[in-house]
Amino acid sequence: MEARKVKTEHPFTMFEYLVPRAPDAIIALMQQCKADTNPDKIDLGVGVYKDASGETSILRAVKKAEKQLWETETTKSYVGIRGNDDFRHSMLHLILGGEAGKIDDALMNRIASSQAAGGSGALRLGAEIIKSAAPDATVWVSTPTWANHIPLISAAGLKMEKYPYYNRETLGVDFDDMLSHLERKAKPGDVVLLHGCCHNPSGADLDPAQWDRLADFLAAQELTPYVDLAYFGLGRGMAEDSYGLRKVVEVCPETIIAASCSKNFALYKERVGLIAIVCKDDTTAAIARSQLGATQRKIISMPPDHGAKLVADILGDAELRAMWVEELTEMRERMRDLRRQLSEALDVQGGAVIAAAVKNQNGMFSTLPLSVDQARKLRSDYSIYMTDSGRINIAGANNENIPRLADAILAVL
Ligand SMILES: Cc1ncc(COP(=O)(O)O)c(C=O)c1O
């Protein structure tokens, strides 16, 4: 590290003491792709959904709700520290209600929730609450995990450790290793961060039987699940994508949930997220609510309202809701179809393991077993952009370029 400069002149100024930080790798990748003039380039880098024409459009249901809101909204005054009540309650019914889409009052009363600035804001609020409740708890994250999990959660002052998860050879989950590692190393009171569905970056999810075992394991080891639900509805279906979350809520006395509406409502820049803390009883939930409010107050004071109001309006109106479900289904099915096509194109000698994985994995991402050099070669020689770790966003492909993508992957392997 460079030696800190000793300040001698006056007046005193401070900002020359800042240490320059490298740009975020994914942002650098986006810029590199933008600068590439090859008309056939394929952008599989950034984690936003794209339609067949490569656009990240506003959903029709969102546009319609926005129009209604524009016509009826009369004030921009603050809503409240924990945000829009309809948004929080509709989201809880949606993500915890399963097929019925509804939870009972007994469960609702055990939950403290707050609107947050996106899934990221929710993860951070959750981390702050863990820090207040159990400052010595360690938060365990999967290897690999979303690149921002460790910065976001450790910024609250919590210790973090990793557990084994994705096997880069079999391209599946090392479930027994995950459990035995946590059994040996985690202590009661620690927190285990889990991806509710569509694991980022691997796309490899636990199956229902594994979630059942995991829920029993966490309860027996007295570990608290912290479920990051950033891709609800984009994996296999709404009930399927919340199976694991619902299972841990059913079995464990406490669960923390950070949900995002960035991807499934395509509301990225509106920053819509929900933090929910399922407590052992109503009394504890009331205390957790006061803590959530106080914590939000000292970070951003009031959450942004616009996007959350749209989600509340969509979920609360039968017509808008049906329109959103249809659009969510379209996005999910497009990605499943692209996975199927890529899998078929890769299913030749040398590509069978990847072909099977790409087909079975969920959501936008898969991590291919490519070296850094191979990922860079795809960039330099084929104008195919993915992270150095081999993570692809399948939504960046389309029916036309899949054969070329598969050929290039097989060529560098
Ligand atoms: C796993 C995971 N969690 C949370 C988020 C947070 O998303 P946002 O803050 O944009 O809602 C993301 C975004 O990419 C993600 O991939």
Domain positions in the chain are: 23-58+321-412, 78-316
Express each pLDDT in 168-225 by its tens digit. Answer: 999 999 999 999 999 999 999 999 999 999 999 999 999 999 999 999 999 999 999 9
* Catalytic residue (one of 122, 127, 230, 408): 230
Percent of the chain with pLDDT over 90: 93
Residue 343 in contact with ligand 1 by CB distance below 6 A: no
Percentages helix, strand, coil for the chain, rounded to the nearest 5? 50, 15, 40
Average pLDDT estimate for 345-361: 94
Q: Domain 78-316, what architecture?
A: 3-Layer(aba) Sandwich (3.40)
Residue 363 in contact with ligand 1 by CB distance below 6 A: no
CA of 218 from ligand 1 middle (Å) equals: 24
- CB-neighbour burial class of residue 101 (10 A; exposed 0-12, middle 13-18, buried 19+): middle
How is residue 135 written in tokens? 């400052």
Query: How many Å apart are CA 311 and CA 108, to the nearest integer?
Result: 19
Express each pLDDT in 196-210 by its tens digit. Answer: 999 999 999 999 999
Task: Please indicate whether residue 40 is annotated as part of the active site.
Answer: no
Query: How many Å apart are CA 200 and CA 196, to the nearest integer?
Result: 10
**Which residues have a Cβ under 8 Å from the Cβ of 316 and sit 6 or more positions away?**
86, 90
* Catalytic residue (one of 146, 285, 345, 397): 146
Q: Which residue owns the Cα nearest ligand 1 atom 15?
A: 230
Confidence of residue 355 (pLDDT cuts 50, 70, 90): very high
| Cβ pair 382, 376 in contact under 8 A | no
Q: Which amino acid is at 101?
A: G
Confidence of residue 32 (pLDDT cuts 50, 70, 90): very high
* Beta bridge pairs of residue 155: none
Q: Fold identical between 23-58+321-412 and 78-316?
A: no
How is residue 36 written in tokens? 């590439």
The 8-class DSSP code of residue 110 comes to T
Instruction: Please check whether the domain covering 23-58+321-412 is classified as CATH 3.40.50.12160.
Output: no
